[in-house]
């Protein structure tokens, strides 16, 4: 068992929309990412995603609404729900907790898709 310094881990992240693994929890990965701008519409057919906002405000677009998630807040995106995370110009720091088999952009593949996750 060890403490994880989130500030130190975030300082290692230099690219947006690239999640990095910091720990394992049961059959889940705990990941950190810095995000800015728009991501891609996608869904995860078999996995829920938990977003924990550490800094800034994340906007999660769904086909019928947008949810604003501020620092200190949490949002769960249920499996099978199409979504698009985005920001409004500011850098957002977030933690993701999701099953190990979760693909970064579901079955959608774009230039932003990360296929090999790295530990920091």
**Domain CATH number, residue 50:** 2.60.120.10
Asked, for residue 7, whether it belongs to a domain, the answer is no
Report pLDDT for 108.
81
Q: Looking at the domain assignment, is residue 111 inside a domain?
A: yes
| Full residue range of the structural domain in which residue 58 is found | 13-119
Whether residue 64 is contained in a domain is answered as yes
* Number of domains the chain contains: 1
Cα–Cα distance between 76 and 49 in angstroms, integer?
Answer: 6
Instruction: Let me know if residue 97 belongs to a domain.
Output: yes
pLDDT single digits (tens) 50-82: 999 999 999 999 999 999 999 999 999 999 999
In a domain, 87, yes or no: yes
pTM, entire model: 0.92
Q: Is residue 93 within 8 Å of 32, Cβ to Cβ?
A: yes
- Integer angstrom CA distances of residue 98 from 20, 64, 70, 88, 90: 12, 24, 20, 25, 24
């Amino acid at each position: 068992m060890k403490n994880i310094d989130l500030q130190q881990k975030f300082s290692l992240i230099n690219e947006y929309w690239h999640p990095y693994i910091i720990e394992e929890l049961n059959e889940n990965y705990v990941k950190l990412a810095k995000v800015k701008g728009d991501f891609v519409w996608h869904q995860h057919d078999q996995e829920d995603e938990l977003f924990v906002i550490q800094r800034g405000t994340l906007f999660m677009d769904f086909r019928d609404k947008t949810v604003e998630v501020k620092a200190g807040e949490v949002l769960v995106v249920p499996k099978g729900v199409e979504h698009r995370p985005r920001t409004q110009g500011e850098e957002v720091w977030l933690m993701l907790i999701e099953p190990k088999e979760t693909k970064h952009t579901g079955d959608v593949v774009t230039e932003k898709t990360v296929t090999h996750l790295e530990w920091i």
